[in-house]
Chains A and B, each alone.
Chain A
Amino acid sequence: MKFIHYSLQFARDLASLLDRWSFTHYCLQFVRGLWSLLVGMKTTLRIFFRRKTTECYPENRKTLTMFDRFCGELILVHNEHNEHKCIACGICEMNCPNGTIRVVSEKVTDPEGKTTRVLQRYEYDLGSCMFCRLCTKTCPHGALAFAPTFEHAVFTRSKLVHQLNREGSKLEKKQKE
């Protein structure tokens, strides 16, 4: 009984083997292979005539626009009245993995006796920034953003340290409803 079973199994295997190596299979495989090669050639030829993605940088300097997600340098967003939203909480400074940000603030007491922290200088070292966006993500007031500028080459490292708050700028007052 077992012998018959095995011999049947063997015959079936042999049949499938013959089928796999049969002439039709051989021809079919050849035609299919040729067809897939032709499809590939059609695809590459289409790409050959497609508009190229390379930017010729110094030539197209006037018209080059960077995409939105590009991180050029950190900026403190100022509105038209020279006001920013930074409350000098220092969260960005704490979150910065490289110690790129230094927030210098002072305590100011207003006439009503309320003490607040006021931003004096927001220092940012472009040379050690790794553009991880942790500062802009964690800023509770959305005061920070990345500008898409990228021509930052200077001759000394000290020139890479920028002060981000503009001269004479102050905190934007919240709109009262």
Chain B
Amino acid sequence: MFDFKVVTNWIDNLLNGFLPPAWATFIEFVLIGVCILVAYAVIALALIYVERKVCAFFQCRLGPNRVGPFGLMQSVADMFKMLIKEIIDIRHIDKFLFNLAPYVVIAASVLAFGCIPFGKGLHILDFNIGIFFLIAVSSIGVVGILLAGWSSNNKYSLIGAMRSGAQMISYELSIGLSILTIVIFAGSMQLSTIVESQADGWFLFRGHVPAFIAFVIYLVAGTAETNRGPFDLPEADSELTAGYHTEYSGMHFGFFYLAEYLNLFIVAAVAATLFLGGWMPLHIPGWADFNQIMDYIPSPLWFIAKTAVMIFVMMWFKWTFPRLRIDQLLRLEWKYLLPINLLNLLLMAIIVVFKWHF
């Protein structure tokens, strides 16, 4: 299995060879920043295309198929349209907060994006509280949404933002507890350690029933966390026009749009990392030849394939289930998911203590 540390170390040595260490580090930061932002934009565009195609297929349509082969260039064309559109000045808004909000949302998702292990050695932020940091930064996004709703001077935006606040704060609990279940099992919060310890079996298979329950709960809560259907109350096109981003236009709207899709990617990537072994190939204990063949597939490909499956499942949710009412949404969280989650956590602790897992 190719370790991407070879590449990164080579660049590091090259830069340190002819530059003072401070400058070399600075240039590395800039390079990584550019890489993250490019990956961010490309993944968001790809996801918008995939979403439109998947949605169309679920509705017995073909989806975008005119721009480029199979409509592949459609979302690129949409991006250019969005970039050259005017940002409309709206009267009686809180100008500063209104302009700040999209950047808060996008900064939160870029920070979370940096924590994800994309492949062996392809890991930007990796430290001993990695998953904790990831949860913390991804929940900054709700501040941006609340700011957007508050500063828009529009009752629908405000309703959307308040719903979003209630929803995200509630579901943060479920996400946190389901991740905690896996943290107990892995015995570490460091993402690289979590991935490494799944080398001979993904946590979804090794963790018995509690891992599976945590996986399902994580998917439900993650869907809610990204404000996607069936939990898309903050946007609720048919009731609130577009919720918190009703008043936004041009690239400011584009930022919300990008962040929404990137959050989908992040939630799917974390699900893949925690439950499906991240970039680890599928290893079946005892099948040495099979494991050997699986090792030939490069690690980023494994990661992307697993994430893609998770994204498909979440899109499947979105295009199948009808939107919940706000009271149903909160009831699901507080009366069903939370108690189940707490029991599940206890069960996992018992299993780990008595070593009943594989």
A residues with a Cβ closer than 8 A to B are 26, 30, 37, 40-41, 43-45, 47-48, 50, 52-54, 56
Residues of A within 8 A of B336 (CB): 30
A44 and B61 within 8 A (CB): no
Question: For residue B316, which residues in chain A have a CB less than 8 angstroms away from its CB?
Answer: 41, 44-45
Please, could you name 14 A-B residue pairs with CB atoms under 8 Å apart, sorted by A? A37-B321, A40-B320, A40-B321, A44-B58, A44-B320, A45-B316, A47-B58, A47-B60, A50-B60, A52-B57, A52-B60, A53-B60, A54-B61, A56-B65
B67 CB to closest chain A CB, in angstroms?
14
Q: Which residues of B come within 8 Å of A, CB atoms?
A: 54, 56-62, 65, 316-317, 319-321, 335-336
The contact of B319 among A26, A44, A50, A52, by CB within 8 Å, is A44
**By DSSP majority rule, is chain A's interface helix, strand, loop, or mixed?**
helix
Q: Does the CB pair B62–A56 fall under 8 Å?
A: yes
- Residues of the A chain whose Cβ atoms lie less than 8 Å from the Cβ of B57: 47-48, 52
Closest to B320 in A: A44
Question: Do B58 and A54 touch across chains, with their CB atoms under 8 A apart?
Answer: no
Contact A53 B61, beta carbon cutoff 8 Å:
yes
Q: How far is the CB of B331 from chain A (nearest CB, A)?
A: 11
Measured CA separation A40–B60 after assembly (Å): 16
The complex places the Cα of A53 from the Cα of B57 at a distance, in Å, of 10
Contact of B61 among A30, A40, A52 (CB under 8 A): A52
A31 to chain B, nearest CB (A): 11
User: A26–B339 Cα gap in the complex (Å)?
Assistant: 12
- The answer for the CA separation of A40 and B58 in the assembled complex, in Å, is 12
Q: Tell me the smallest distance from the CB of A35 to a CB of chain B, in Å.
A: 13
A53 to B316, CA, bound (A): 20
Which residues of A have CB within 8 Å of B321? 37, 40
Smallest CB separation, A67 vs chain B (Å): 17
Chain B residue, CB-CB nearest to A29? B336
Question: Which residue from chain B places its CB closest to the CB of A45 in the assembled complex?
Answer: B316
Q: Which residue of A lies closest to B59 (CB)?
A: A47
Enumerate chain B residues within 8 angstroms of A52, measured Cβ to Cβ.
56-57, 60-62
Cα–Cα distance between A141 and B58 once the two chains are bound (Å): 47
Smallest CB separation, B314 vs chain A (Å): 12
- Say yes or no: A41-B62 contact (C-beta < 8 A), given A48-B57, A52-B57: no
- Specify which chain A residues have a CB less than 8 angstroms from the CB of B56 in the assembled complex: 52
Give the shortest distance, in Å, between A130 (CB) and chain B (any CB): 28
Q: Of all chain A residues, which has the CB nearest B220?
A: A37
In the complex, A53 Cα to B319 Cα: how many Å? Answer: 18
Residue of A nearest to B319 (CB): A44
Determine the residue in chain A with the shortest Cβ distance to B65. A56
Question: CB-CB < 8 A to B60: which residues of A?
Answer: 47, 50, 52-53
Let me know if A48 and B58 touch, CB within 8 A. Answer: yes
**Distance of B334 from chain A, by nearest CB (Å):** 13
Provide the bound-state CA to CA distance between A43 and B336, in Å: 25
Closest 7 A/B residue pairs (Cβ):
A54-B62, A44-B320, A40-B320, A48-B57, A52-B62, A54-B61, A53-B60
- Additional 19 contacts, C-beta under 8 A, given A47-B58, A47-B59: A30-B336, A37-B320, A37-B321, A41-B316, A41-B317, A41-B320, A43-B320, A44-B58, A44-B316, A45-B316, A47-B57, A47-B60, A48-B58, A52-B56, A52-B62, A53-B61, A54-B61, A56-B62, A56-B65
B312: nearest chain-A partner, CB-CB: A48
Which of chain B's residues have a CB closer than 8 A to the CB of A48? 54, 57-58
Residues of the A chain whose Cβ atoms lie less than 8 Å from the Cβ of B317: 41
